[in-house]
Amino acid sequence: MMTDVVEQSGGPTRPEPDQPSLNGGTPIAVPPVETGDPAEAQTGTVEPTASARIVQIRERIDEIDNALISLWQERAALSQEVGVTRMASGGTRLVLSREREILERFRTALGADGTQLALLLLRAGRGPL
């Protein structure tokens, strides 16, 4: 199961008297007040050196994201080709031992998140079960 990722900057976990909340209970996330500085709006800091470094790091993150997307698409296409080829030759739709091998490889390298990632990769290549 996938969940949405929400980035929060931290802050009080209990509502304070002037903090908006739902029915007096769970606090509502209120974005921090920005100073109007474009660098702060983009990076979360007005300190020039830190802001420049954040921009640089994010550029590399974007490059990695693009590579991951491309590799994801290539892997899914190759996996689908394996399945079509196997079934066209009279084989089974799935090879569970292969799926277990992939799940274990990702779990060993990345822990529980690796297992979830592997499940998504497998589904992208073979479709839902």
Sign of CA dihedral 12, 15, 18, 19: positive
Q: What is the CA radius of gyration of the chain?
A: 22
Rounded Cα–Cα distance for residues 72 and 66 (Å): 10
Two tokens at 41?
A: 């709006």
How do the domains of the chain map onto residue ranges?
Answer: 37-91, 94-129
Please answer whether residues 102 and 121 qualify as being in contact, where contact means their C-beta atoms are separated by less than 8 angstroms.
Answer: yes
Please answer whether residues 86 and 92 qualify as being in contact, where contact means their C-beta atoms are separated by less than 8 angstroms.
Answer: yes
So what's the pLDDT on residue 30? 55
Buried-state track 64-100, b at ≥16 Cβ within 10 A, e below 16: eeeeeeeeeeeebeebeeebeeeeeeeeeeeeeeeee
- Torsion angle of the four alpha carbons 45, 51, 54, 60, in this order, in degrees rounded to the nearest 10: 150
Mean pLDDT by 10 residues, the chain (129 residues): 46 47 56 63 92 96 98 97 95 95 98 97 89
- pTM over 0.85? The answer is no
Identity of the residue numbered 34: E
Please answer whether residues 9 and 44 qualify as being in contact, where contact means their C-beta atoms are separated by less than 8 angstroms.
Answer: yes
So what's the pLDDT on residue 11? 43
So what's the pLDDT on residue 10? 45
